[in-house]
Amino acid sequence: MEHLLNGFMSAFSLAVFPVLVFGVLGGVILGALPGLTATMGVAILLPFTFGMQPTPALVMLIGVYIGGIYGGSIAAILLKTPGTPASAATVLDGHTMAIKGLAAKALSIAAVASFIGGLISTIVLIAIAPILADFALRFNAPEYFALALFGLTIIASVSAKSLLKGLLAGTIGLLVSMVGLDPISSVPRFTFGIMDLYSGINIIPVLIGLFAISEGLNQLEKLSNNKQDVAPKFDYKVLSFPDFKKILPTCIKSGLIGTSIGSVPGAGADISAFACYNEAKRVAKKPEEFGNGSMHGLAAAESGNNGVTGGSLVPLLTLGVPGDAVSAVLLGALIVQGLTPGPLLFTQNPEIVYGIFSSMIVANIVMLLIGFLGIRFFCRIIEVPKIIMIPIIIFLSIIGAYAINNSMFDVGIAITFGLLGFILNKLEIPSSPILLAIILGPMAETNLRKSLIMYEGSWSFLYDRPIALAFILFAVFSVYSTMKLKKRQRSA
């Protein structure tokens, strides 16, 4: 407690607090722009920390991380354009609420849910980091395969009205995820001699194409046919206290799930958001509201993806193993500052560790304030005429796709998937399963093949290992409950 109190004093000091606010605000802005992810924001600012003291440097980068994950929800809600992959699940209910004139309420739910998820993950990080780290250490190839398999069953839940169309979309995503070098033998697959495809298809251009460019094309078609959507009439009423009490259990549960998933290296905020959304829909009294503007769906996705922020630091700080791409960059920042992540960090540099912990709590509070203070400004985006807004969205999308690797090939990928998303929208085939399959496909394939090598071709790892068996049972239960739910909806 003494270290934690000293950490709070450090967080509010003149040397730390301004850079913390700068980091969170910068993260929110970067996260709201399509293609500019939290990982990119942290990586961009990393060189600027070389001459800084360890605590302010790390606090600024973590502030960008926390702000970036939340910032993606702003564009997802208002423009149906997820700023980051972690916000793909937010589109499902957030944008629908905005269309119904509840943009301010949706933004306030996102801010509150993000705050609760981030706060829970930080408290868990402080309290039981070593326990979660030990749990994460138990994961090997069979456990990762079972986790990915469980994640793929979520496709059934996010398949809107038609399960068959959702499975078709998921199959497209799995085929796309197979492009590139074979993960075990390094044999090129589906590359057609194109060198840019050898490293696979980057998820960010796919995300930008499926959600941002396809939506831009859809709106352009409406403009050309004089069918422009009337700008929704909305007030600035934010989340009320009765509604807050309704979504609070969902936020807490999703925050805990997100923290657990975040503590497993390789499982990021995008997987967490979909997993929490699926769980919230499974236990909901009115699951038919999900995808049609459900407060619980939006709250689950946002609390889940922000729950990862603290969870991903568990293996990083306790074991020196990054939990996701952002924490991998943060590992570099720790090394640059002459710090060695691991158990000794807690004993040799407790002032830095607990300074980070305290600053994460403060950063989540700052994020909440920015979210609420910016609602009136954010909502103005909807009032901008579509004839002006659509070219800006497409332009920013193309810039975002190019900025990832400074590659025109990535721009071509974004445009290709934009056209694919436009066509799929006409056929009423959902895009979310494609994204989910692209994220989880390589994880499932690589770890399945590693598991078979470990067990010399035997499939016994599916029932020999308790954690893997638990995830497989979860997967079976997820499919069963989703099928039962859809059957009940059809009969109703």
Q: How many residues belong to the chain?
A: 492
Residue 278 has pLDDT above 80, yes or no: yes
| Model confidence pLDDT, tens digit, residues 268-277 | 777 888 889 8
For the stretch 442-452, pLDDT in tens is 888 999 999 99
Nearest to 433 by CA among 58, 155, 46: 155
* Contact (Cβ atoms closer than 8 angstroms) between residue 30 and residue 327: no
CB atoms inside a 10 Å sphere around CB 421: 24
Q: Residues 360-383: what's their mean pLDDT? A: 85
Structure token pair of residue 257: 């799930």
Instruction: Please give the pLDDT value at position 272.
Output: 85
Residue 120: predicted pLDDT: 93
pLDDT digits (tens, 9 = 90+) for 109-160: 999 999 999 999 999 888 877 666 566 667 788 988 888 888 787 776 666 5
Say which residue, 204 or 364, is predicted with more confidence: 364
Give the count of alpha carbons within 13 A of 118, CB side only.
Answer: 30
Residue 486 has pLDDT above 70, yes or no: no
Report the pLDDT value the prediction gives residue 350, as an integer from 0 to 100: 80
Looking at residue 275, its pLDDT comes to 86
The pLDDT value recorded for residue 211 is: 76
Cα 308 to Cα 298: distance, rounded to the nearest angstrom:
16
pTM of the model: 0.71
Measured distance between the N- and C-terminal CA atoms of the chain, rounded to whole angstroms: 55
Q: Under 8 Å CB-to-CB from 140, ≥6 apart: which residues?
A: 454, 465
Answer yes or no: is pLDDT of 183 > 70: yes
Q: What is the pLDDT of residue 419?
A: 93
Please report, as a single letter, which amino acid is at residue 49. T
H-assigned helices in 374-405: 375-383, 386-405
The overall average pLDDT reported for the chain is 83
* Tens-place pLDDT, residues 298-353: 999 999 989 888 888 877 787 666 666 677 778 778 877 888 776 677 777 888 88
Is residue 56 within 8 Å of residue 97, measured between CB atoms?
no
Task: Pick 398 or 267 by higher pLDDT.
Answer: 398
Q: How far is it, in rounded angstroms, from Cα 400 to Cα 155?
A: 27
Q: Which residue has the tokens 């802005």?
A: 29
Q: Greater confidence, 334 or 19? A: 19
